[in-house]
Each structure stands twice: as structure tokens, then as C-alpha cells.
Structure 1
Amino acid sequence: MVSPHGVQLATHLISSFYGDLCSKVCECLLRRGTLTLAQIIRFTELSRENVINCLRVLIHQNCVQAFAIQQEGAFGEAPRVITQYMALFDNMIHKMRAPKFMQIVSEELGKDVGSSDVDVVRESFNRLLIARFIERCPAPEPFLAPPADGETPAKKRAAKSAKIGEERQTTEQRALAAAAPMESMRFLMEMDGLSEEKSEECTNSVTVGEKRKQDVLKSDEDVLNADKKKEVLWRVNFEELVRRLRHKACISYVKTRINDEAAIVLSAMLELSRHSETRQKAENSAYLSINAIYDEVIKKEGGLGMDFERIRVSLEQLGCQCLETGIDESYSIDIKGIIETSQTEEMESVVLRRYGREAYRIFRLLSKAGRFLETDKISDTTFVEKKDTTKILYKLWKDDYLHMEKVMTSGAKQSLFLLWRINKEPLREHVLDEMYHAALNLRLRIAHEQDKGKEVLQLPREKLVGELEKRYKLLGKVRVILESSLMNLDEAIMLFHDF
């Protein structure tokens, strides 16, 4: 489920880009989950025509995914196929990351990508495709086939108990997987035959009886497909762009916390293993030979003077796992470990800014301990007065930064002890929700400043003299500060949610 302030931020973004009606449909889907057209109409109280128009826009903009499932009919009635709609929260949030994505593309491919010349556009498209910055759009409405008729209830129960977490590997996850183009076609320029292949694929996944049901029992959402065309459509490949940002964040962290040479070695390893990453949030890189790492390191700026021994020192500093086979040695980097350490330090910095240095020392102690500690132990270790320690612990607990348990000792003289610890996963979610809240406030403040100064901002440049020029420059400075703060905050959001 999306956190409360995450929903508010996403709906604000959709409102900014596509209007209040689309925002209302998105909010409904984010808060209530996957719904049919009839349910969306009922919950939003919008007209059928408005909801259909909004869904068209949102599907086109990759903010909503439609999919068809077979629903059992009432007693004596045949099953029918219905279309459901799910919100794509991540894609909504990506709307505010266009500057970051454009910067990545410009750094790798240059600024010609924005040219209007036909030949340049064609060449740019090919380069974007080769770099995997764009990909084929998902199928607009995949059909999720029901379990095969031969699957008995006993088999279903066995399968359910065997993978209890995968069953609700969720209908939504199954829908996204069904909508995704085949990997062999995802970045393929040749377009002929894709529609036929998809059509045949869908047909083969549906039994003859089900095909007949689909022909006879048309869903009430067919109107959404009125303008359906067969040409191949393309979209931005957020997965690849987020992967690049994830790698950049890891390199930046290592450069700050260890040194430049370790950052160069990490950059080389991530570059070598990038195309072998099968998941966006890969936990470890592929095992890479020391020779391959060396060859890539010396291509990097600042890496030419590094020899094997210095590279091995950096690999040790990075905590790489070593695999030795005969005369060969290979290394794998713990990407997940770097991300989690970055998250922990970000949470510690939040505590430092909000609650002060003594609270920071207490929080850091509990973070490193990873277990329950008693109040006196915390006070003694951090050199904070017990009275102050208790006040700080209660404040952090009240704000959901700590977990507390009360323990009563047994015996003739009973005593009450308070134990404290950090539950990192719930805390990450809590901190992330606070970041969504802060990002929403910043966007609202930017919109407010623009609205407040719209009279000055709309004036021709030659009329901006005297007091008007001062106001114009002040508005520009305020906007730069606010947008810079928002970009920095979004990097923290990506650290906790996307990386």
C-alpha cells in the first residue's frame, strides 16, 4: 500500500500535469486499490464519460494499467470477462524526475536528442534504444487466464501453501508481467509481426471456451479501445534510468565515505555488470575477474595510474566477496549493503537535524546495536544524563522512530524496565512518508510563489525596471532555492523507495 502522504504527492503531480479530474481518478485507485470502471464511477461520483476520458489519458501516460480477468457469474450464469484498472504509483512519482532523467541522457548521448531534424531524430531514437533509455509500451489490456480446469481444489491448496506469499504475488504483479513485452522484443526496432505475435500469444493463453465467452460477453470498458491502433508505441524506460541513478548514488556515497579510488573501482564494477542485472534493485553485482576490473578501471578518469594492488585494496575497502578458482580471482560488490548503509546514515542525519546531537548519539547507538537496550545502558554508553536520555527516548518513541517494550522483573521486589530498539523496516517507511510530505509542501510552496508573482513573471523583459526588476530577481532566487531543495529531497526519496 502507498503511504498517506505518498498518495497526496502523487495526486498533486497528476493534477499539475493532467488536471483535477485525472487526479481524482488516480486518488481513488491509489486509496482503494484495483477497481472496475463501474466502481471508479461510483467512488469518484464522476460521469461515465469523464472517467473513460481520464482513464484514456492515464493509460496513455503510463500512470494506470488495465487488465482483463474472468469473473465467476452468479448461480446459473456463465463467467464473464471484466476489465480492471490499477494505479502505477512509481510512474506518477517519476513525473517530477524529468530533469534528472534528461541529465542522464544528455551526459551519455549529448543534447542532439532534442533536435527536430528528421535524420537526427531517427539517429537519436536508435541511440536511445541501444542505451535502453526507451522501450516498447506494455500491452494496453492483457488477459489473465484463470487456473486450468484440470487443477483440483487440493492442488490449488497445495500450491497456495507452497508459496503463500506468491499467490498474491498479487493479481497486479501478474498483470504487469502479462502486459510487459517479451524481453527479446522489448528493445527491438523491427516492428513487423509484433501485433500478430501478441495477438497469437493472447489467443493461445485462452482456452476455446474462454475465447467464446470473450466474444459473447464484451466488457463495459470496450469503449476505451475505440482508438486502438496496431503500430508499436514506445515509452521512457524508467527502470534503466533509475538503475543509472542508483549506481550514481552508490558511487557518490563511496567517494564521500571511503575515497576516490574506491569510487573508481566501484564505478568500473557497476559498469561491467550493468547489462547482467536482471532486477532493478540488484543486491549484488555479478562476479567479475580482477583483469576485467583492471581493464575498466584504467579507462576511468583518475584510474589510469592504479595498479592491481591498489585495486585489491579498494575491493577490500568496499567489502567485496572474493571467489578464487585456480589462478583466477573474481569479485562481487554488495550493492544492497551500500544502499542500506546510506539509508541508515540518512535516518541518523534526520534525527540530528530534528532532535539534536544527544538524540543523534542515542539513535546511532541503537542503530548499531540492532537489539533492545535498557535506558540506563543507553545513558551510560552515550554519556547523556539519564533524565535527558529518558526524555529523548520518549520523544523518539512518540514520533515513531523507536520501538519500546516494558519488562517487569520477577521476585519479591518487582521493578519496571523500559527496553528500546529500532525496527528499521517500519522506520524506513515512516521516514519515507515524511519525505513525501515535505516534497508535497515544497511543490505547493513553489506553486504558491509562482501564483503570487505571476503578474511580474508575465511582463516583457524590457518592462522589468526598478522595483519590478528587484521583485523578478527575488522570485527567481526563491524558485531556484525551492527547486534545488526539492531535487535534493527527491534524491533521499529515491534512496528509500526506488533504490
Structure 2
Amino acid sequence: MAENHTRRLCVEIIHSHFGPLTARLASVLLTRGRLALLPLIRLSQLKPRTARAAILILVQHNVLWHTRGQDNVEMFEFNVDECLLRMRFGKFVWLAEQKFGQQAADIIQLILDHGKLRPPEIISVLSRCDPKTTSQYTQMLMKLVSGSYLKPSTILSHLSPRDKIIQYEAEEKHKIVGFPTAKELREAKEVAQARLKREEEEAEQVGLKRKAKDQSGSKTSRRKTAEDVVINDAVYFKVNYERFGIHIRNAVIETAARDKFNEGAAIVMRAAMKATEITQLTLSESRSVPTSISNIAMKVPDDANLAAGLVYSTKKVANITCIKDYLGMLSSADNPTPEGRASSFLSYSTSKVQVEFEMIARRLRQNVVESVAQDKHGAEGLRILRLLSHSGKVDEKQISKGVLMAPKDVRPLLVALSADSLISTQEVPKSADRNPARTFYLWYADFNKAYAKILGDIYKTLYNIMSRRRAESEAHDVAAVLDKRQRTDVSQDESLLTRLERELLKDWELKQEKLAVLEMRVEEIIFLLKDLAPLCVNDD
């Protein structure tokens, strides 16, 4: 079962994409948890045929997990993460067009519209209007599959990972003789996770197969067999969201470098990430593979004026010199302290450069919490939060001395910050009876709790944005104009609309554009707090 704000947002997304009947079934699963078909039909109050159709739609679009329980009854469970990622579909299509061109965008959009498709179905739909483009779409499909932008949809992808982890952990625990120790339980969990990861990697290999073909030798007439990799036409493919998430992460890091330094630093940072982009396969990588300065220099555009952001005694400076200076800035070479290390973007030695994704992600996530603290509690609240994030657990008197504020001003701020889940308290009793009068109360910054609270508020904001967008479209006067615009004659010549209808339509489109921009900005915060969370497991 999902949290309240998350549930409402998922229901709104399903309503927007699949309609109210499917949204009703999704709401039951999100509220009740895992259910079989008959209870699901009864609780959703849908006709059996309608409920089965809704289930097939959600399974086709990877939003439902389905598995058989111990009594061999098929159970359905809602995939919350898959549903929330549907808000980025437009960005995925845009990224595919920017990186590979319009044909790649067409393939990605078609698969997103259908959930999963086989290669012959993709090619036949896209090349229906122009059969000459068949070979071009086939080559582009091969490029997307080999670049991991598309991955096969297997039976394992329709099962909940938690079920597999529980099953594998139970199998490993049965192998333990006697009473298991904490170390043995931890090792069993690690083995189960490694086994699941290995199975997922093996399942994704079925998308490509080797095809044997005959080739004539250049020196002899004997025929030799060579292996060529081709796409498996019998496999269904779906979009690999994590591969596109890597490009979103790199764009966020580039923007952060631009905000902290200047345009030249952002160009060098983008070149450093592009130099290792092929090897970036998951968002959980703590740092990139090492690369050389020459590789970074090759990725810098020829028309980039890097010297404009730096001050030199001479007028003409080589680009490689500017790149080295920018790398020194991004690695905080002028501040070789733990504080400087924590604020760096990459590690830079004389020969190798590595982008530090973990440190950047941790800093960006903490910046979100600090921004919320400043917006709600002003500069004084931000000062207290930063003191606690650096000092650990501190009592009220030490906080008052550290932030140079009177105790009477610090106390209400601490209560307000705690009410917003930005900071927490730790009780240290002096005696066994835990008398409050004989107990120390230490304050500390609990970032994990703050992330969860802010994420819930962000989900609520997104739900309000999507509800407002739907309400604007379903208004009586706007809905009438939109229906009229769908007519064939009006769609070809909008001058058939009256002046009042055109003004109403223009005002509606302006509101929709503002809501879309707001949704994109809010969704970027979700990416920082949720998608980059695996990098910051040990946040304190």
C-alpha cells in the first residue's frame, strides 16, 4: 500500500493516461495492497470484463506486477515507481531526439504508447507510410537496443523484486546450520540480492542473439562462419528508464556547475561526463570510470571560448590549459580539506579524472532541504540546520552559542524545524527512570526523515497541479471549444472558430503551458530526492 499523497498522485496519473475506470481499479490496489482477481472486481465495483481489460492494460504498460501465491491463485500488485516515471515520458522522447534524431524519438514514443512491443511490430507501424525507411528504423532500433535504451521485457520483470528477495533469503537461511548470527543473516541478504541482480542481467541478454552467416575467405575458397549480433524478433522490448535518467542526472550536474562557477566550467563538466557516457549504465554508480584530459579535450566544442571565464596575463591561451584550470576548480584543488573535498565535482590527478556522482548527489539533495528550511524559517533556521548538519548531535545551549543567537530565539526555531521534520531530537536519560527533568535532549539534522517529508509534500503538489490541469480542461466552456476543435473542418481551418472561442482557447493553452513548466520544475526535485537516493544510502 502506498502513502496517501503518493496514492492520490498515482491515481491521477492513471486517470490521465487510461481513463476513470482503470483509475478506479488502480485506486483499490493502492489502497488495499496485493489482491486476487475476484476481490479486486468486487472492491472496484467494475464488471468482470471491464476489470480484466483494465488489468491487461496495466500489465501491458508494466504498471502491475502479477504472481501466483502459495495456493496457486494469481495476485496483482501495483508498481508505484513505474507509474510515477510516466510523468517523464515527454522528456524521454525529447532526449532520444536530441541524441539520435527523429527516428529514435518515433521508436521511443511508439513503445511508450504501447508499453512493450516486438521489433517486427515496431518496424511495421513506423514504416507503414514510407516502406523505404524500413532499413533506417531497423538500424536505429539496433542502436537503441545495443546502447541499453531499450531492454527486453521478460517474465522476471513482471514479478515483484521483493518477492524474489524474500524467497532467496529464505533459501539461504535454510542452509544455515543452528541459530543464525547477525553476520550470517547479513551475508544471506547480500547473496540473495546478488542472485536477483545476476538473474536480471541474464534475462536482459535475451534481447540480442548471435546469427551465424557464411563468409568466403580471402586466401582460400573454404567458407568460414562468423558471428553477427542481431535483435531477437521474438522478444518484447520496453524503454529502459534508468538509461535516460543518466542523461537527466548529467544535465542536472552540468547546471549545478554552471550555477556555482560559470559557463566554461559547465562546458568542461559536460565534456568530462560525455567522455565516460558509454560506461554509465546505472544511477547507483558512485563515480565514473577514470578518463584522461585528452579525452575530455576531444569532447569540448571547437567554438567554446573557455578563456572568457578565466583571467590570464596573456591574451591567447591554449584550450588545454584552460581545461586543466577548470578541472582544478571543479576538484577544489585550492581547498584540500574535508570541506573542500565535499564541495568538489570531480577528482583530478595528473593523469586521470573521475566524476564524483555520489558527492554531487548528496550535496544537491541537502541543498533541497536547506532551501526548504530557508523558505519556511528564514536565514536563522537555515543557520541552525547547517550547524547541526556539521556538528552532529548538539544541545540547545551549544546551538545558541554556535549560531550567535539568544536562547529565547533559538527555542521556537528548533520546535518549528522539528515540526517540519527537518531536525530531530535524541533523548539521553541520566537515570534509569527516564525522568524528563533528568534527561538531556540533543538536536541533530535527520536528512533521511526530511527527504521523506519533502517528497510527500512534492507528491501532493504534483497531484494538485495535475488536478488543476484536468479541471481547466473539463470546464464547460473550454470543453465545448476543445470538442469543436476536434472536428475535421475546424482542425484544418481554425478561422471557423469565433473570436471569443479563439481567445478562450489561447487563455487555456497559456494556463496549460504554465502548469507544464511548473510540473517539470517540481518533477526535477523528485529526481534529486528519489532517483539519486541509492547514491546516498548512508546519509546521516
Q: TM-score range by the shorter chain?
A: 0.7 to 0.9
Asked whether the 8 Å contact 2:9–2:460 carries over to 1, the reply is yes
2:262 counterpart residue number: 259
The count of residues paired between Structure 1 and Structure 2 equals: 444
Query: Following TM superposition, by how much is the alpha carbon of 1:444 offset from its aligned partner in structure 2, in angstroms?
Result: 0.5
Query: Are the structure 2 counterparts of residues 154 and 346 from structure 1 closer, same or farther at C-alpha, using a change threshold of 3 Å?
Result: closer
Equivalent-residue separation in structure 1 for 2:282 and 2:300 (angstroms): 24
Equivalent-residue separation in structure 2 for 1:443 and 1:148 (angstroms): 40
1:195 counterpart residue number: none
Asked whether the 8 Å contact 1:137–1:180 carries over to 2, the reply is no
Equivalent-residue separation in structure 2 for 1:473 and 1:104 (angstroms): 28
1:306-361 CA distance string (max 9 Å, x none): 336325414523353457xxxx7323222011011111111211222233333233
CA RMSD in angstroms, aligned pairs only: 3.9
Q: Say if 2:363 is the partner of 1:338.
A: no
Query: Following TM superposition, by how much is the alpha carbon of 1:108 offset from its aligned partner in structure 2, in angstroms?
Result: 0.9
Query: Are the structure 2 counterparts of residues 43 and 157 from structure 1 closer, same or farther at C-alpha, using a change threshold of 3 Å?
Result: farther
2:395 counterpart residue number: 374
Equivalent in 505, 525, 531 of residue 472 of structure 1: 505
SS in structure 1 opposite 2:276? helix
SS in structure 1 opposite 2:353? strand
Query: Are the structure 2 counterparts of residues 495 and 170 from structure 1 closer, same or farther at C-alpha, using a change threshold of 3 Å?
Result: farther
Equivalent-residue separation in structure 2 for 1:157 and 1:24 (angstroms): 49
Equivalent-residue separation in structure 2 for 1:446 and 1:189 (angstroms): 45
Query: Following TM superposition, by how much is the alpha carbon of 1:47 offset from its aligned partner in structure 2, in angstroms?
Result: 5.3
Q: Say if 2:148 is the partner of 1:132.
A: yes
Q: Say if 2:455 is the partner of 1:435.
A: no
2:130 counterpart residue number: 117
Q: Amino acid of the residue matched to residue 324 of structure 2?
A: E
Query: Are the structure 2 counterparts of residues 170 and 379 from structure 1 closer, same or farther at C-alpha, using a change threshold of 3 Å?
Result: same
Q: Say if 2:375 is the partner of 1:350.
A: no
Q: Amino acid of the residue matched to residue 479 of structure 2?
A: K
Q: Amino acid of the residue matched to residue 265 of structure 2?
A: A
Equivalent in 424, 445, 450 of residue 468 of structure 2: 445
SS in structure 2 opposite 1:356? helix
Query: Following TM superposition, by how much is the alpha carbon of 1:163 offset from its aligned partner in structure 2, in angstroms?
Result: 5.7
SS in structure 1 opposite 2:235? coil
Query: Are the structure 2 counterparts of residues 82 and 171 from structure 1 closer, same or farther at C-alpha, using a change threshold of 3 Å?
Result: farther
Q: List aligned pairs for 1:416-427, cutoff 5 A.
A: 418-427=441-450
Equivalent-residue separation in structure 2 for 1:190 and 1:343 (angstroms): 44
SS in structure 1 opposite 2:66? strand
Q: List aligned pairs for 1:227-376, cutoff 5 A.
A: 231-297=234-300, 301-302=304-305, 305-307=319-321, 309-317=324-332, 318=344, 320-321=346-347, 329-369=351-391, 371-376=392-397
Equivalent in 85, 98, 101 of residue 92 of structure 2: 101
2:479 counterpart residue number: 454
Query: Following TM superposition, by how much is the alpha carbon of 1:165 offset from its aligned partner in structure 2, in angstroms?
Result: 5.6
Query: Following TM superposition, by how much is the alpha carbon of 1:463 offset from its aligned partner in structure 2, in angstroms?
Result: 5.1
Q: Point out where structure 1 has 5 or more consecutive residues left out of the alignment.
A: 72-79, 193-229
SS in structure 2 opposite 1:288? coil
Asked whether the 8 Å contact 2:152–2:204 carries over to 1, the reply is no
Q: Amino acid of the residue matched to residue 466 of structure 2?
A: R
Asked whether the 8 Å contact 2:172–2:188 carries over to 1, the reply is no
SS in structure 2 opposite 1:486? helix
1:417-444 CA distance string (max 9 Å, x none): 6432211112111111110111011110
Query: Are the structure 2 counterparts of residues 40 and 294 from structure 1 closer, same or farther at C-alpha, using a change threshold of 3 Å?
Result: same
Equivalent-residue separation in structure 2 for 1:21 and 1:124 (angstroms): 37
Q: Amino acid of the residue matched to residue 525 of structure 2?
A: A
Query: Are the structure 2 counterparts of residues 18 and 467 from structure 1 closer, same or farther at C-alpha, using a change threshold of 3 Å?
Result: closer
Query: Are the structure 2 counterparts of residues 158 and 475 from structure 1 closer, same or farther at C-alpha, using a change threshold of 3 Å?
Result: same
Equivalent-residue separation in structure 2 for 1:302 and 1:103 (angstroms): 28
Q: Which range moves more in the overlay, 34-43 or 2-11? A: 34-43
1:263-289 CA distance string (max 9 Å, x none): 333323322333333533211111223
Equivalent-residue separation in structure 1 for 2:67 and 2:43 (angstroms): 20
1:359-392 CA distance string (max 9 Å, x none): 23333332343x1233343344434443332222
Query: Are the structure 2 counterparts of residues 408 and 22 from structure 1 closer, same or farther at C-alpha, using a change threshold of 3 Å?
Result: same
Query: Are the structure 2 counterparts of residues 43 and 472 from structure 1 closer, same or farther at C-alpha, using a change threshold of 3 Å?
Result: closer
Q: Point out where structure 2 has 5 or more consecutive residues left out of the alignment.
A: 107-125, 213-232, 307-317, 333-343, 432-436, 486-493, 533-540
Asked whether the 8 Å contact 1:68–1:141 carries over to 2, the reply is no
Equivalent-residue separation in structure 2 for 1:150 and 1:463 (angstroms): 70
Asked whether the 8 Å contact 1:298–1:306 carries over to 2, the reply is no
1:390 counterpart residue number: 411
Normalized against structure 1, the TM-score is what? 0.75
Q: Amino acid of the residue matched to residue 467 of structure 2?
A: L
Equivalent-residue separation in structure 1 for 2:440 and 2:30 (angstroms): 42
1:220 counterpart residue number: none
Query: Are the structure 2 counterparts of residues 166 and 260 from structure 1 closer, same or farther at C-alpha, using a change threshold of 3 Å?
Result: farther
1:89 counterpart residue number: 80
Query: Following TM superposition, by how much is the alpha carbon of 1:98 offset from its aligned partner in structure 2, in angstroms?
Result: 1.6
Equivalent in 515, 518, 527 of residue 494 of structure 1: 527
Asked whether the 8 Å contact 1:264–1:302 carries over to 2, the reply is no
SS in structure 1 opposite 2:525? helix
Asked whether the 8 Å contact 1:10–1:89 carries over to 2, the reply is yes
Q: Which range moves more in the overlay, 432-441 or 8-17? A: 8-17
Equivalent-residue separation in structure 1 for 2:194 and 2:17 (angstroms): 26
Q: Amino acid of the residue matched to residue 234 of structure 1?
A: F
Query: Following TM superposition, by how much is the alpha carbon of 1:17 offset from its aligned partner in structure 2, in angstroms?
Result: 1.3
Q: Amino acid of the residue matched to residue 132 of structure 1?
A: S
Equivalent-residue separation in structure 2 for 1:171 and 1:41 (angstroms): 35
Query: Following TM superposition, by how much is the alpha carbon of 1:181 offset from its aligned partner in structure 2, in angstroms?
Result: 5.8
Normalized against structure 2, the TM-score is what? 0.70
Q: Which has the higher contact order (CA 8 A, sep 6+)?
A: 1
Query: Following TM superposition, by how much is the alpha carbon of 1:35 offset from its aligned partner in structure 2, in angstroms?
Result: 4.3
Equivalent-residue separation in structure 1 for 2:302 and 2:291 (angstroms): 16
SS in structure 1 opposite 2:351? strand
